[in-house]
Structure 1
Amino acid sequence: MAAIKTLVLITGGNGGIGFELAVQLLSDASKYVLLGSRSLAKGQAAVKDLQSRKLPGTVELIQVDVSSEDSVVTAAKEVESRHGRLDALVNNAAIGTPPGSLAQQLDQSFRTNATGPAIMVEAFAPLLKKSTGTPRIVNVTSGAGSIATRLDSTSPFYDMGLVRYRASKAALNMITACQSVDYGPLGWKVFAFCPGFTVSNLSEQNTAANGAKPTSEGAAPIVDILNGKRDGEHGGYLHVDGQHPW
Structure 2
Amino acid sequence: MAATKTIVLITGANSGIGFELAAQLTAKASYHVLMGVRSMQKGNAALAQLQSRNLLGTLELLHLDVTDDETIHRAAETVEKAHGKLDILVNNAAIVSTAPTLRQKLQDEFNTNATGAAVVAESFIPLLRKSTGSPRIINISSGAGSIARRLDPSSVLYKVPGLQYRVSKSALHMITACQWVEHGPAIKVFAYDPGFTQSNLSERNTAENGAKPAAEAVRPLIDVLEGKRDDEVGQLLHNTGVYFW
TM range (shorter): over 0.9
> CA 1:145/1:125 → structure 2, altered by over 3 Å: closer, same or farther?
same
- The one-letter code sitting in structure 1 at the alignment partner of 2:71 is S
- Quote the residue 1:149 is aligned against: 149
- What is the aligned length? 245
Q: Secondary structure at the match of 1:34?
A: strand
- The one-letter code sitting in structure 2 at the alignment partner of 1:216 is A
In structure 1, C-alpha distance between the alignment counterparts of 2:57 and 2:105, rounded to whole Å: 38
Q: Secondary structure at the match of 2:99?
A: coil
- The one-letter code sitting in structure 2 at the alignment partner of 1:6 is T
In structure 1, C-alpha distance between the alignment counterparts of 2:109 and 2:3, rounded to whole Å: 40
Unaligned ranges ≥5, structure 1: none
- Quote the residue 1:229 is aligned against: 228
- Quote the residue 2:211 is aligned against: 212
TM-aligned CA deviation for residue 111 of structure 1: 0.5
- The one-letter code sitting in structure 1 at the alignment partner of 2:182 is D
- Quote the residue 1:47 is aligned against: 47
TM-aligned CA deviation for residue 213 of structure 1: 1.1
- Quote the residue 1:129 is aligned against: 129
Q: Secondary structure at the match of 1:158?
A: coil
- Quote the residue 1:176 is aligned against: 176
Moved over 6 A (4+): none
> CA 1:74/1:100 → structure 2, altered by over 3 Å: closer, same or farther?
farther
TM-aligned CA deviation for residue 2 of structure 1: 8.8
- Quote the residue 1:158 is aligned against: 158
| Contact kept in structure 1, 2:97 and 2:105, CA below 8 Å | yes
| Contact kept in structure 2, 1:98 and 1:109, CA below 8 Å | no
- Quote the residue 1:68 is aligned against: 68
TM-score by length of 1: 0.97
Identity of aligned residues (%): 58
- The one-letter code sitting in structure 1 at the alignment partner of 2:87 is D
Q: Secondary structure at the match of 1:203?
A: coil
| Contact kept in structure 1, 2:189 and 2:234, CA below 8 Å | yes
- Quote the residue 1:96 is aligned against: 96
In structure 2, C-alpha distance between the alignment counterparts of 1:125 and 1:138, rounded to whole Å: 12
Q: Secondary structure at the match of 1:138?
A: strand
Q: Secondary structure at the match of 1:164?
A: helix
Unaligned ranges ≥5, structure 2: none
- The one-letter code sitting in structure 2 at the alignment partner of 1:21 is L
Matched, 1:138 2:135: no
C-alpha RMSD over aligned residues: 1.3
In structure 1, C-alpha distance between the alignment counterparts of 2:142 and 2:126, rounded to whole Å: 28
TM-aligned CA deviation for residue 154 of structure 1: 2.4
> CA 1:162/1:78 → structure 2, altered by over 3 Å: closer, same or farther?
same
- Quote the residue 1:201 is aligned against: 200
CA deviation map 1:110-164 (0-9, x unaligned): 0000001100110001110111201011000000000011111222222222010
Q: Secondary structure at the match of 2:184?
A: helix
- The one-letter code sitting in structure 1 at the alignment partner of 2:174 is M
Q: Secondary structure at the match of 1:133?
A: coil
In structure 1, C-alpha distance between the alignment counterparts of 2:223 and 2:159, rounded to whole Å: 32
| Contact kept in structure 1, 2:97 and 2:108, CA below 8 Å | no
- The one-letter code sitting in structure 1 at the alignment partner of 2:168 is S
Q: Secondary structure at the match of 1:21?
A: helix
In structure 1, C-alpha distance between the alignment counterparts of 2:173 and 2:62, rounded to whole Å: 25
- Quote the residue 1:15 is aligned against: 15
- The one-letter code sitting in structure 2 at the alignment partner of 1:214 is P
CA deviation map 1:20-66 (0-9, x unaligned): 00010001100000001100100111111111110000000001000
Q: Secondary structure at the match of 1:115?
A: helix
- The one-letter code sitting in structure 2 at the alignment partner of 1:62 is L
Q: Secondary structure at the match of 2:191?
A: strand
